[in-house]
Amino acid sequence: MIELETIKKYIQNPDTLSYPCIFYSEAVIKQNIALLDDFLKKLTGKKEVQKYFSCKANPNATLVSFIYNQGFGLDVSSEREFTFALSLGIETKSITVSGPAKQDHFIERLILSEIKALHIDSIDEANFIKYFLETYKKDLKTNFTLRVNVDENSNKLGVSIEQLSECLIRYPFISGIHFYLGREKFSKKRLDQELQKISSAIAPHRKLTFSIGLGLSLADLEINQITICELLSNHECSFEMGRVILETAGVYLAKILSIKKQKDFLATDVIIDGGIQHLASSLIDFKRKIPADVVFFKKSSGELVSGEDQANIYGSLCLSSDLLAIVDNFSRELKRGDIVYFYPCGAYNINASPSNFIMQNLASEYFIHNGEIVKV
């Protein structure tokens, strides 16, 4: 949980908050970055490791600028994210671009902007870049890395390992390899195996950089468990990440609208003023199924209230499938207007949600800095 005392202070004062809302903790973001730095240093054996924040994890302007100012570059996945990054004053040499959504004019714009790296996602993209570079003929600083698919269940993203060596011959402008291990699928063993497969497919004389999305969750940063990766220690490498920085730094607060207790049902049904239209995958966690923590506050006093009743917590869509959590700490003292707190919810929230479904207002966002909140 994050800064409960601060949150309580603001809940008590009904005029200061607009619900539903998301709080982000600066202190937790900093802690997560410190853990991440130690982890990456140990993994690579390097003193400094280049990191890129994945904009798609949360494009809140204050958060992106804050993380950038902590020494990160930014990884974007669409032209709109790119334009947004520039509007925040992020330098093009600190921007990488990944993902399969790059139209011709966007690729041209990226190359001419001399971004740090363009992660090529397909042979079609590589062919277009080849054609563009041959036509343009000037030396530009953009680096080109080729995404290799490491997902056993889908060919969608990147090229296959079998296509790799041919691509490196056909596209001499490629100077690096890019891959994403998948959401929370990191293990050191798996990373070593994928790197081994990739390096066996590369001619020994070709020195390439590695740009890797490890798909880390905070639990993966267990520093004692991690050992050095020899291959990365010998190559220029960088990492991009999203959830590991922000997921545990955010909480979502919404008001209770209705409490339905029916005698034939064991659990109480609670409907809140919010739900998957603000939280998408961070709340409906496909791995854990329910969020790690759901607690309740009295709106009048800001006090935490805990009981022993089972309750289904539903969002406010006109569907019975927007079940957000099943809890066993619901209290009969709770009433319409009291507050539900979901944790962790800092990554892939509003931007990854069906936010126009029933057209409820977007959740308000607040940044907790030194015990005070700022609307962001």
Which one of 18-26, 201-209, 237-245, 296-304 is the stretch in contact with ligand PLP (CB under 6 A)?
237-245
Please answer whether residues 171 and 143 qualify as being in contact, where contact means their C-beta atoms are separated by less than 8 angstroms: no
CB-nearer residue toward ligand PLP: 81 or 240: 240
Which one of 213, 250, 302, 344 is in contact with ligand PLP (CB under 6 A)?
213
CA dihedral sign of residues 106, 112, 116, 121: positive
Which one of 14-22, 235-243, 287-295, 350-358 is the stretch in contact with ligand PLP (CB under 6 A)?
235-243
Say which DSSP state 362 is in. P
Which one of 220, 240, 273, 338 is in contact with ligand PLP (CB under 6 A)?
240
Helix or strand (DSSP H, E) at 186: none
Which one of 30-38, 43-51, 208-216, 228-236 is the stretch in contact with ligand PLP (CB under 6 A)?
208-216
In whole angstroms, the minimum distance from the beta carbon of 181 to ligand PLP comes to: 9
Q: How far is CA 58 from the centre of its chain?
A: 6
Under the criterion CB under 6 A, does residue 102 sit at the interface with ligand PLP?
no
CB atoms within 10 A of CB 357: 15
Please answer whether residues 329 and 268 qualify as being in contact, where contact means their C-beta atoms are separated by less than 8 angstroms: no
Binding residues for ligand PLP restricted to 244-263, rule: CB under 6 A: 244
Under the criterion CB under 6 A, does residue 185 sit at the interface with ligand PLP?
no
Under the criterion CB under 6 A, does residue 149 sit at the interface with ligand PLP?
no
Under the criterion CB under 6 A, does residue 183 sit at the interface with ligand PLP?
yes
In whole angstroms, the minimum distance from the beta carbon of 56 to ligand PLP comes to: 6
Which one of 50, 60, 98, 238 is in contact with ligand PLP (CB under 6 A)?
98
Which one of 243, 278, 298, 299 is in contact with ligand PLP (CB under 6 A)?
243
Q: Using alpha carbons, select from 219, 225, 201 the residue that is nearest to residue 149.
A: 201
Please answer whether residues 147 and 157 qualify as being in contact, where contact means their C-beta atoms are separated by less than 8 angstroms: yes
Which one of 35-43, 122-130, 166-174, 240-248 is the stretch in contact with ligand PLP (CB under 6 A)?
240-248
Under the criterion CB under 6 A, does residue 57 sit at the interface with ligand PLP?
yes
For the chain, give the number of residues.
376
Under the criterion CB under 6 A, does residue 55 sit at the interface with ligand PLP?
no
Q: Using alpha carbons, select from 89, 82, 94 the residue that is nearest to residue 143.
A: 94
Using a CB cutoff of 8 Å and minimum separation of 24, what contacts does 259-268 make?
259/334, 259/335, 259/336, 266/310, 267/309, 267/310, 267/311, 267/312, 267/326, 268/309, 268/310, 268/311, 268/312, 268/330
Site for ligand PLP (CB under 6 A): how many residues? 13
Which one of 44, 54, 268, 353 is in contact with ligand PLP (CB under 6 A)?
54
What is the contact surface with ligand PLP in residues (CB under 6 A)?
A: 54, 57, 98, 180, 183, 213, 215-216, 240-244
